[in-house]
Amino acid sequence: MTSEQWKKLVDVINGSLFSPLPVAFIIDSPWLPNWASISTLDYFSNDRLWFEANLKAVNRFPDIIFLPGFWAEFAMCTEPSAFGCKCSFPQNDLPFPQKIITDINDIHSLQKPNPKTDGLLPFVLNRLKLNQSRIEQQGHAIKFAVSRGPLNIASFLLGATEFLTVLRTSPDQTHKLLTLVTDFIIDWLELQTKTFPSIDGIFVLDDIVGFLGPDDFEKAALPYLKRIFQSFDVTVKFFHNDAPGLICAPQLPQIGVNLFNFSHHHTLAEMKKLTNNKVTLLGSIPPRDVLAAAAPEDVQNSVLAALSSLTDKTRIILSAGGGMPPGVPSENLEAFT
């Protein structure tokens, strides 16, 4: 991310209004390798190809803010690998971690990972270290520390259905697991911020939050997210949940979130009301059915429709209602902007 883009992002969060409104997208391995004409495995395993794919995107679309910017990651395997999950890496598809807990009572055997040495985390950091000077020579900087959220990671360790079940049947054990995972996330984000002094934002992704009702959110999500976001004195506190977000949205200000990417099933106007205009909204065009699959003119119409419901356009950044999906053509990004 360039210094100009960072300043615009911060200004929008602080309430400044830009015309035209800024456009930003979360881009990573589901979209970028195929768009850059390389395999997913090459993207994960080759530092040069990873850098060139990201550079191609930022140069091709200089008016778009790509978040978090030059994202070093191994998809959903990044954090679960540190706990010992077996990770499968297909040639041209997304990797996936295998669960390691078959009984919630076995969580006592889990050890908190060391992000300096465990799983794929050292490779994430080293990729950024190896490419830091080249990123900076292109006028960009590493601005975000990134992690999946506590419920997201716990669901990979245990299985999503199993996690949501034991949340009700074994709440004490579940909270032990969430506490361990939250401690790890804070360590992981802290290591990133210490390694790269240019970082001034944290980015946490947790879709499992969207599967909870109000009571479960209050008990199993809010305290852990609040601990994470309030552990860091940074300018941008970015949360992604593109599952249903009506439950979490009103709680985001007290959690400490000031930038929110949410499901396209919710309108910008609806989310602005739920957050009391205290959180900058990143959204919310349908990513798959419009951004990836529709014609350019339909993309334009979807953007216009999203804007038409707004009377107040402060704290709005136009984007997809979620991350950039596979198969989005350049023509549709041009139509969007």
pLDDT averages per 10-residue partition of the chain, 337 residues? 98 97 97 98 97 98 98 98 97 95 89 98 98 98 98 97 95 96 98 98 98 97 98 98 97 98 96 97 97 98 93 97 97 97
Q: Residue 59 is which amino acid?
A: N
Q: Which residue has the tokens 């350049």?
A: 330
Nearest to 58 by CA among 248, 289, 333: 333
Distance, first Cα to last Cα, the chain: 18
With a threshold of 0.85, does the pTM exceed it? yes
Check if the beta carbon of residue 144 is closer than 8 Å to that of residue 238: yes
Sheet containing 280-285, strands listed edge to edge, beginning at the edge strand earlier in sequence: 64-67, 23-26, 316-320, 280-285, 259-262, 236-241, 201-205, 144-148
Contacts 24+ apart (CB under 8 A), 286-289: 286/320, 286/321, 287/242, 287/320, 287/321, 287/322, 287/323, 287/324, 287/325, 287/328, 288/325
Whether the Cβ atoms of residue 6 and residue 143 lie closer than 8 Å to each other? yes
Burial (Cβ within 10 Å: 0-12, 13-18, ≥19) of residue 47: middle
Reported as half-sphere exposure (CB side, CA atoms, 13 A), residue 316 has a value of: 25
- Phi–psi pair at 335, nearest 5 degrees: -65, -40
**Per DSSP, which regions of 9-50 are E strands?**
23-26
Number of domains in the chain: 1
What's the CATH code of the domain at 165? 3.20.20.210
DSSP state of 105: G
**Beta bridge pairs of residue 281:** 260, 316
Strand boundaries in 57-194, DSSP class E:
64-67, 87-88, 96-97, 144-148
Beta bridge partners of 204: 147, 239
In 218-315, DSSP assigns E strands to: 236-241, 259-262, 280-285
pLDDT at 66: 98
Domain enclosing residue 65, as ranges: 3-336
Residue the block writes with tokens 């930003």: 24
